[in-house]
Structure 1
Amino acid sequence: MESGLVAKAVGCSASYARRFSYDDERGGFEKEWSKSNQSEKVSPGARTKIINRDGGSCLRCGLEDEAELEVHHILPVSHGGTNDDSNLATLCSHCHEAAHGGSKTSGKTVYAQGDFREWTQETDRGSGERCQSLSSKQMKISDY
């Protein structure tokens, strides 16, 4: 069935309806890709909390542009990471992509488990104009 028609019939968004399917044997069920994808999402309230905790700036480059800030799972969910505050950190979109070797959805990181802090303090940034120079706000990462 078309997700748009289902969404209209049950009163939800089409994107929400696409997360589910139906067959005669199983009935209605959530698709596997949706289950894994949902576990990686951070709620808007948690995002705000983490960004505020981290001083409103990227922990790697110090960028303070709210529109560019994202919440990063230090240990990816696909490797057992959780949405606990201690596993979340603020990165700008550029540094977030760099943390994942170019693909935020890869489930992999360029740093070894436990080496997130060291990675944020590397001096060879190569990040160009999008990121500011390192700031003292980065020291908040010492809580990890």
Structure 2
Amino acid sequence: MKAHHALIHAESIAESRSLGKSTRQTVLDRDDNRCQRCNIKVAAGSENGAGFQLHHIVPFSAGGPNHPDNLVTLCNDCHTLAHQQMKNLVEEHTELLDELRTIVCDTK
């Protein structure tokens, strides 16, 4: 996959995943520098506040864009928890998998 991405898109996956400073700041401003899950204040580096990640709502690996509408601010702890819960989503909500299969396989 990495080789394919580099060959087709002429950049590494890490390069394509990187967010511009303006996009990052737009999301942080919109989210009021707070984790959107637990509401704790977040900050970069050594500033006052918890460490954070910008999380893709539609996963980047599934084609989710690096657009502010698809990004949400999460503290590091909530980001880890979100990924753990997303792994279990299909197992816990089999109807979601059926819905996705319908979307993907619809030939209309």
Give TM-score scaled by structure 2 length. 0.59
- Highest RCO, 1 vs 2 (Cα 8 Å, sep ≥ 6): 1
Could you say which residue in structure 1 is the equivalent of 2:67?
Answer: 84
| Residue 48 in structure 1 maps to residue 31 in structure 2 | no
**Number of residue pairs matched by the alignment:** 77
What RMSD over aligned residues (CA atoms) do the two structures have, in Å?
2.6
C-alpha contact (below 8 Å) 1:99/1:111 kept by paired residues: no
Q: CA deviation at 1:38?
A: 1.7
Q: Quick one: which amino acid aligns to residue 41 of structure 2?
A: E
Could you say which residue in structure 2 is the equivalent of 1:131?
Answer: none
Q: Quick one: which amino acid aligns to residue 78 of structure 2?
A: C
Aligned positions of 1:105-120 closer than 5 A:
109-110=86-87, 112=89
Taking the aligned partners of 1:85 and 1:38, their CA distance within structure 2 comes to 18
Q: Quick one: which amino acid aligns to residue 73 of structure 1?
A: H
* 1:101 maps to which of 84, 90, 100: 84
Deviations 1:77-125 (A, max 9, x none): 11110111110111111111111129xxxxxx34759xxxxxxxxxxxx
Question: Could you list the runs of 4 or more consecutive aligned residues of structure 1 that deviate by over 6 angstroms after TM superposition?
Answer: none
Q: Which runs of 5+ in 2 are unaligned?
A: 1-5, 45-50, 91-108
| Residue 61 in structure 1 maps to residue 44 in structure 2 | no
Closer, same or farther: CA 35–88 of 1 in aligned 2, 3 Å: same
Q: Quick one: which amino acid aligns to residue 36 of structure 2?
A: L
Taking the aligned partners of 1:54 and 1:44, their CA distance within structure 2 comes to 15
Could you say which residue in structure 2 is the equivalent of 1:73?
Answer: 56
Give TM-score scaled by structure 1 length. 0.46
Q: Quick one: which amino acid aligns to residue 72 of structure 2?
A: A
Q: Which runs of 5+ in 1 are unaligned?
A: 1-29, 103-108, 114-144
Structure number with greater Rg is 1
C-alpha contact (below 8 Å) 1:54/1:89 kept by paired residues: yes
Q: CA deviation at 1:36?
A: 1.6
Identity within the alignment, %: 32
Q: CA deviation at 1:53?
A: 0.4
